[in-house]
Homo-oligomer: A and B are copies of this chain.
């Protein structure tokens, strides 16, 4: 039978993910990839997980393998609440839902909140995974202007003044794709605006633990708690393959999101959650994090140095203190997609920045990832790209 005619209206809106196509190219022999957005496999605590997987089967036995609560494994939620309180996000286990990665969090929240046509304010450029989570619920996007300190509060206020925004979606720290961080003053300003305009913010925070220099900044959730939904993940500090993320949400949204998640996947893997709990509660995270930071910092420094030494003066780039990405902006008329096609001929891949915009901008921008390649490969890759400019 012809099944295409059976697809839902929303499905036909979704379309192929261009970045997925790019990532297929990356697996070619000899390719140096600055394209992915994934942690280095060297960062994974394989031996710790080996030990913990035995420990949890001894300690919890069948419980680690049985159906669990949709809200998530209670001890994991407790230890997350304890960690969050250290960053002045004052919550208890009952305020937390464990999700199947951040992606699961974004899907549940999109499903709980978005009615077709609802307006969502996002950064330009913004995180693509959020767009692919929200799109099936058919929202409209309004883009907030950004500069090298993140979103510009005046631009946000102009949007909020017009009313009618369902929520704002931000990655305030070491953003994907730009690596930019919202400055302290602007965090305070955004917190003030969402309170004043009685608006909901989704603060997606996968990268803040990956800080290689500088001072921690307060999460917006800690400044405007009742207006903010916070999303965290263990993907960047333990393992993305375990698919453990979490949502901290105001009570009503939390409760409805649980019902929503129940229909989506009943609950997140009990086994993964138990590993996550023992990793955090057993102090393994505190011991392992410095190793990850020592692994990534030289990669970032190498990329920044190579850009400075090789790229023309007409290019600018972000200088993040953490995370996984550097964002490059070329001069007017520079076409990053043409460059991408030349670069893959030279065995170097990156992602043209235009894919991170919801409004067809960004043709002169590019996202460079520094976690997956070695410092030497990063230097080679930047030189090769520079030679094509």
Contacts of A50 in B (CB 8 A): 53-54, 57
Q: Could you tell me which residues of chain A, from 34 to 78, have a CB within 8 Å of some CB in chain B? A: 38-39, 41-42, 44, 46, 49-50, 53-54, 57, 61-68
Q: Which of B42, B66, B113 contacts A44, CB < 8 Å?
A: B66
A259 to B46, CA, bound (A): 30
Q: Is A129 close to B, CB under 8 A?
A: yes
Q: Is A107 close to B, CB under 8 A?
A: yes
Contacts of A295 in B (CB 8 A): none
Q: Given A49-B57, A57-B50, A100-B100, does the pair A259, B111 have CB atoms closer than 8 Å?
A: no
Residue of A10, A42, A54 contacting most chain B CB atoms (<10 Å): A10
Q: Given A265-B103, A271-B272, does the pair A8, B241 have CB atoms closer than 8 Å?
A: no
Identify the stretch in A248-256, A308-316, A329-337, A354-362 within 8 Å (CB) of chain B at 4 or more residues: A248-256
Please tell me if the beta carbons of A9 and B49 are within 8 angstroms of each other in the complex.
no
Please tell me if the beta carbons of A242 and B104 are within 8 angstroms of each other in the complex.
no
Instruction: Indicate how many identical chains form the complex.
Output: 2
The total of chain A residues at the interface (CB under 8 A) is 80
Q: Given A7-B256, A61-B46, does the pair A264, B266 have CB atoms closer than 8 Å?
A: no
Q: Is A277 close to B, CB under 8 A?
A: no
The minimal Cβ–Cβ distance linking A198 to chain B, given in whole angstroms, is 5
Q: Is A135 close to B, CB under 8 A?
A: yes
Please tell me if the beta carbons of B260 and A11 are within 8 angstroms of each other in the complex.
yes
Q: Which of B103, B262, B270, B272 contacts A263, CB < 8 Å?
A: B103
Q: Is A376 close to B, CB under 8 A?
A: no
The minimal Cβ–Cβ distance linking A28 to chain B, given in whole angstroms, is 16
Please tell me if the beta carbons of A66 and B240 are within 8 angstroms of each other in the complex.
yes
